[in-house]
A and B are shown apart, each in its own frame.
Chain A
Amino acid sequence: MQKIRPPFVFDENLNSSFLEELFEGDTNYAEAVFEDFIKDLPVYWERVETAYHNRNLPILGTSVHTCKTLFGYVGFTDLQELCQQFENKCSVNSPEELRVDYILLIQRKERAQHIIEKEYARLRLFNGDKD
């Protein structure tokens, strides 16, 4: 008798119910998206860092906005909220006033990156086992 395989369960730090709806059980596609995220985020984040160091707040806001969208595709709903708050502050605050928020954002982004790397590895393993 063929054994029924339990479905992939996303990390508790991610919005798993949304991810399940988004990927509809297609873990291979989830793996591809997580891989793209790992590849794309550093490119987009570099724009954030450049804009912050150049004190270019409009570009900083737009760059964080892009990262916010990217976080959504891997289930970081709470981080999206933080990005949105930061984005809003870019239009009213000075770089000095944004410093604490910026450091917090970096910390959260690094944590998110770490979780996604682990999750990607788990997905690869899951999909590899399936094949």
Chain B
Amino acid sequence: MKISCIIVEDIQIAADFLRKFCEKSDLVEVKGHFLNVMDALEYLDRERVDLLFLDVEMPGANGFELLDRLTYSPMIILTTSKTEYAFNAFQYHVNDYLKKPFTYKRFIEAIGKLQLQPAETSPAQQLPATQTDTEFLFIKADDKLTKIRKDDILFLESMRDYVKFVTSSKNYMTYSTLKNMEEKLLGQTFLKVHRSYIVNLSKIDDIRGNTIYILGNQIPIGKGHKEDLEARLNIL
């Protein structure tokens, strides 16, 4: 499922670029473009979106005034040609800050960050019907963002500065840490069983001694993790 967004931007060329980048990425669906804050607010009173691309300086009210008036907290990417707003951006917990004009590469980086820091306050979490963040994640691998269903993941292995995602059909390497992934995945069916491994509990075939077997893969159980593992398994 794509990330739904609106663009709040008074410069048509800038909005056209954003729309083009969203379409090219195939990750973000643009639900609308608004030239000013008031029109955007009117829309946001009726509809919820996952993400706002928000210009700061616009005629009438500015982008931060829109954030003040919002009744929920979607993910926010500020788009501005001024760098002076960085402090405000920090205060408003915006997810990223794109200085116009920006390239497609920079756009994709910003979208990638959203996936690595799933919104605590995103509407997707507030609306049960669209709990997209629990079903899949995007990882940056081979210069693109790849969508992986969490249910397809067998286990994750730490490889220095990278994490290997092992699924039944393919392996993916992404530049990240196991600790970062832990925060995104734990509490669901995933459990850290070793300092270098997180496993999908639903994929375990069997456990022999201190080794977990998943589709022919052997994963060691680290000291201090066995109790946690046993507590999470339905042992009869």
Determine, out of A29-37, A92-100, A106-114, A116-124, the stretch whose residues face the partner at the interface. Answer: A29-37
Given contacts A22-B101, A29-B20, contact A70 B13 (CB under 8 A): yes
Provide the bound-state CA to CA distance between A13 and B144, in Å. Answer: 33
- Asked if B81 and A33 sit within 8 Å, CB to CB, the answer is no
The answer to whether the Cβ of B208 comes within 8 Å of any Cβ in the partner chain is no
Provide the bound-state CA to CA distance between A115 and B105, in Å. Answer: 27
Binary flags per residue of B117-154, CB closer than 8 Å to A gives 1, else 0: 00000000000000000000000000000000000000
- Asked if A69 and B100 sit within 8 Å, CB to CB, the answer is yes
Provide the bound-state CA to CA distance between A80 and B100, in Å. Answer: 11
Give the A-B pair count, Cβ closer than 8 A.
42
Min CB gap A127→B, angstroms: 17
- Asked if A69 and B14 sit within 8 Å, CB to CB, the answer is yes
Residues of A within 8 A of B20 (CB): 29
Residues of A within 8 A of B81 (CB): 65, 68-69, 72, 80
The answer to whether the Cβ of A73 comes within 8 Å of any Cβ in the partner chain is yes
Given contacts A36-B12, A65-B81, A65-B82, contact A72 B100 (CB under 8 A): yes
The interface on chain B, measured as residues whose beta carbon lies within 8 A of the other chain's beta carbons, has a size of 17
- Asked if A22 and B103 sit within 8 Å, CB to CB, the answer is yes
Residues of B within 8 A of A70 (CB): 11, 13
- Asked if A21 and B105 sit within 8 Å, CB to CB, the answer is yes
Binary flags per residue of A28-50, CB closer than 8 Å to B gives 1, else 0: 01000100110010000000000
Interface set of A (CB-CB < 8 Å, partner B): 18, 21-22, 24, 29, 33, 36-37, 40, 62, 65-66, 68-70, 72-73, 80
Additional A-B contact list (13), CB under 8 Å, known A33-B17, A69-B101: A21-B105, A22-B101, A22-B103, A24-B104, A40-B12, A62-B59, A65-B81, A65-B82, A66-B11, A69-B11, A69-B100, A72-B101, A73-B14
Interface set of B (CB-CB < 8 Å, partner A): 10-14, 16-17, 20, 57, 59, 81-82, 100-101, 103-105
What are 13 A-B contacts with C-beta separation under 8 Å? A21-B105, A22-B103, A36-B12, A36-B13, A40-B12, A62-B57, A65-B57, A66-B10, A66-B57, A69-B14, A69-B81, A72-B81, A73-B100
